[in-house]
Chains A and B, each alone.
Chain A
Amino acid sequence: MNAKANKNQLTSIEPAYYEAVTEAIRKEAVKILKEDTVVGVVGYLPGRRKGTATPALVTSVEEAEKLVFSPACVNNLSVYLTKAKKGVLKQGKVGIVAKGCDMRALAGLMTESQLQREDLFIIGVVCPGVYGFGVERTGTLTEANIARKCRECIVHMPEGADVAAGTHAELADLTPEEAEEMARIEAMPQAERWAFWKEHFSRCIRCMACRQVCPFCYCEQCLCDKNRPQAVESSPRPAGNMAWHLVRAMHLAGRCGGCAECERVCPMDIPLNLLNRRMAKELKELYDYEAGLAPVEKGPLNQYKEDDDQSFIK
């Protein structure tokens, strides 16, 4: 579908849209569980507090009938198919509810041989956006409460899903706040930019929420947890914090699909997605590569070719 041609000038996405998506997800989840197509479905359930939702690993039809989709469905659920979560659901094909940004993570994980397409049943969501942090959660999505990443979303349509829930809908004419912030930081003199990040990282308490929600931080032994010998100071102090965040940004370069979960979950409000985005920009400029747009055999930083440019080796 041509997204541009169908762009209507919506100023808000009403609860009815999310209700329709919810119905479609429930119907599909119930069907694939009933038919034993999948061992479980990773989706969302409503939270206790108004305007919240939590990830859920449902295995029964009864639970599947309670699944929801709303602007509160912020989580990238693909993290539940990696790391320790692999063991939570039984072996077998898994259903997963995925927004466009989550699909990029799934594609990236397939690129890295962490997932096989045939092991997934993807219920794609045509997603107009989700809530930002600290906003009013009224059930209606508007320019005032939409997440910063969603303002510049290029993946409203979940391309490559088994089924799609929802029809095309998106908010019109949103200012690209994150792009503007990135331009502001890029324009800073180096010392000022260094000071900007130093100030942000000084608040880091090393709770590792950024790492734990990241679908691509699936290393069984994180370099930053090692203490014999210690590679990166694990204590929350300026030097180690800086090192950790640089390692994180570099290790995600060419892999991060831009879901911005790291930034969303940071209890100290560190704008981590700016780093991810900057890395993505480098990859685009150097290799004309955008991670997660489609599964590829290997990303540019994950492969070696004999004719690679080696002039950087001095």
Chain B
Amino acid sequence: MQIITEQNLRNLIDLLVKEAKLVVGPKLSGSVVLYEPLTAGTELTLDALPRRSSKELFFPVCEDILSYKREGGAMKVTDVDRSKFPETVLFGAPPCDAGSPSILDAVMSWDYKDEFYLERRKKSTIVGIACTKGDDACFCRAVGLAPDTENGSDLFLTPLKDGSYACNAVTEKGQALVAAHKNLFAEGAGAEPVPFVDQAVQKLDLVKIKKWLEEHFEDPLWERIADICVGCGACAFICPACHCFDINDEGSTDDGVRRKHWDACGFAKFTNHASGHNPRDVQNKRYRNRIMHKFKYYDDKFGKTLCTGCGRCIRACPVGIDIAEILETINGKAE
């Protein structure tokens, strides 16, 4: 087994920074931990789940997709040079974050190839870490993941009781990262792994839940649960799997930028048509879409569940809407 000490893990970050790679990991920003560029290994903070997920590495909160400027009589349009996107290494993503790109790849490379997402994805290596924290909002086990799921990571670290990490190079990218910095890793038996935290939510039968959703597009459950939803975008924005975005031209008619930024199905105007008609005219229809998209539509199209059970939406919901509780309710109703 390959072992890396905590000090060497931090040294590895220092070396990668020196190699001019973009190194991103959980870092304290004000009073919250966020995935942010690290300038030194000492900045890596592994004792809290970052408030926002690591999806923003591939799908930023906001990005320019082109700029335009009127020159004489003509409009000059300039594309973003995606070849300048840096080689990136993501450190310290637990399975509920590390696993999200492998879910999102399907939609991002489907009928339209999202070159922005795919270019970043191609240039990044994910160093995932087994999760030994967790609280009563966590439910990764219920949606088919686990605190030690390696799928999604290129290199996977398991915290050991002596403070070091057992390393498993899951993909070629992971093997290449280890091979390039061999001297930081040692062969060994390793100490005992740090145990995982129990989760309150039991395993859900996602097939059964999907079947129930298929048969209950109209159901009083939606009103009962979602009538208290206030229609913000907190749940979707901090979700590792939500990937809806809006496009806005900002600037003047002569000089401006076209920007792509996060959008959320909870917003009242999300499906507002140019005609003024809105097929999801009340909040419970919008909330229904959130559940349907995650546990039915995405599975219909891509055979995957659009949720990693990270629990962020549960912790952040201003009115305490608890997606795990909703899934348990549906699981209990379904035949």
Q: Looking at the complex, which of A96-104, A144-152, A205-213, A247-255 is the stretch in contact with chain B?
A: A205-213
From B228, B282, B322, B325, name the one whose CB has the most chain A CB atoms within 10 angstroms: B228
Residue of A nearest to B284 (CB): A88
Residue of A57, A84, A211 ringed by the most chain B CB atoms within 10 A: A84
Query: Does chain A have a CB within 8 A of B259?
Result: yes
- Asked if A170 lies at the interface with its beta carbon under 8 angstroms from chain B, I say no
- Nearest-neighbour CB distance to chain A for B11, whole angstroms, equals 29
Stretch of B114-122, B214-222, B262-270 that contacts chain A = B262-270
**What is the chain A residue whose CB lies nearest that of B34?**
A203
A48–B282 Cα distance when bound, in Å, is 25
Asked whether, in the complex, the Cβ of B31 is within 8 Å of the Cβ of A269, the reply is: yes
Judge whether A79 is part of the interface by a CB distance below 8 angstroms: yes
Q: Determine if B136 is an interface residue (Cβ-Cβ < 8 Å).
A: yes
Report Cα–Cα, A237/B32, bound state, in Å: 18
Chain B neighbourhood of A203, CB < 8 A? 29-30, 32, 34
CB atoms of A213 and B230 under 8 A apart: yes
Once the chains bind, are B261 and A235 in contact (CB under 8 Å)?
yes
Q: Which of A26-34, A121-129, A260-268 touches B?
A: A260-268
**Most chain B CB within a 10 A radius of its CB, from A79, A233, A268:** A268
- Chain A 203-233, CB-CB to B under 8 Å as 1, else 0, gives 1011111011100000000000101001001
Asked whether any CB of chain A lies closer than 8 Å to the CB of B238, the reply is yes
The answer, yes or no, to whether A56 is at the interface (CB within 8 Å) is: yes
Distance in angstroms between the alpha carbons of A43 and B248 in the assembled complex: 39
Count, A-B residue pairs, CB within 8 A: 119
With a 10 A CB-CB cut-off, give which of B234, B259, B267, B320 has the most chain A CB atoms.
Answer: B320
How many chain A residues touch B (CB < 8 A): the figure is 43
Q: Does A54 contact B (CB under 8 A)?
A: yes
> Given A203-B30, A208-B267, are A48 and B322 also a contact pair (CB < 8 Å)?
yes
Contact A56 B228 (CB under 8 A): yes
Interface residues of B in 260-315 (CB under 8 A from A): 261-262, 264, 267-269, 282-283, 314
* Contact in complex: B30, A200 (CB < 8 Å): yes
Whether the Cβ atoms of B318 and A230 lie closer than 8 Å is no
Known A-B contacts A52-B320, A235-B248; A265 and B234 likewise in contact (beta carbons under 8 Å): yes
- Interface pair A211/B250, CB less than 8 Å apart: no
**What 0/1 pattern do residues 71 to 109 of A give for CB contact below 8 A with B?**
000010001100011011000000000000000000000
A54 pairs with B320, CB closer than 8 A = yes
Interface: A47 (CB within 8 A): yes
Say whether A192 faces chain B, with CB atoms less than 8 Å apart: no
Q: Which of A50, A54, A211, A240 has the most CB of B within 10 A?
A: A54
B324 in contact (CB, < 8 A): yes
Contact (Cβ within 8 A) B137 A49: yes
Chain A residues contacting B29 (CB-CB under 8 Å) are 203
Residues in A whose Cβ lies below 8 Å from that of B61:
205, 236
Q: What are 15 A-to-B residue pairs whose CB atoms are below 8 Å?
A: A47-B325, A48-B322, A56-B228, A75-B318, A80-B228, A205-B237, A207-B237, A209-B230, A233-B250, A234-B248, A235-B62, A265-B232, A265-B234, A267-B237, A268-B32
Residues of A participating in the B interface, judged by any CB pair closer than 8 Å? 47-50, 52-57, 75, 79-80, 84-85, 87-88, 199-200, 203, 205-209, 211-213, 225, 227, 230, 233-237, 240, 261, 264-265, 267-269
With A57-B227, A265-B232 already in contact, 19 other A-B pairs whose C-beta atoms are closer than 8 Å: A48-B324, A48-B325, A49-B314, A203-B29, A203-B32, A203-B34, A207-B232, A209-B318, A211-B232, A212-B230, A233-B248, A234-B248, A235-B62, A240-B250, A267-B52, A267-B234, A267-B316, A269-B30, A269-B31
Residues of B whose CB lies within 8 Å of any CB of A are 29-32, 34, 51-52, 61-62, 136-137, 200, 227-228, 230-234, 236-238, 246, 248, 250, 259, 261-262, 264, 267-269, 282-283, 314, 316, 318-322, 324-325
The 5 closest A-B pairs by CB, nearest first: A54-B320, A265-B318, A209-B232, A212-B232, A207-B233
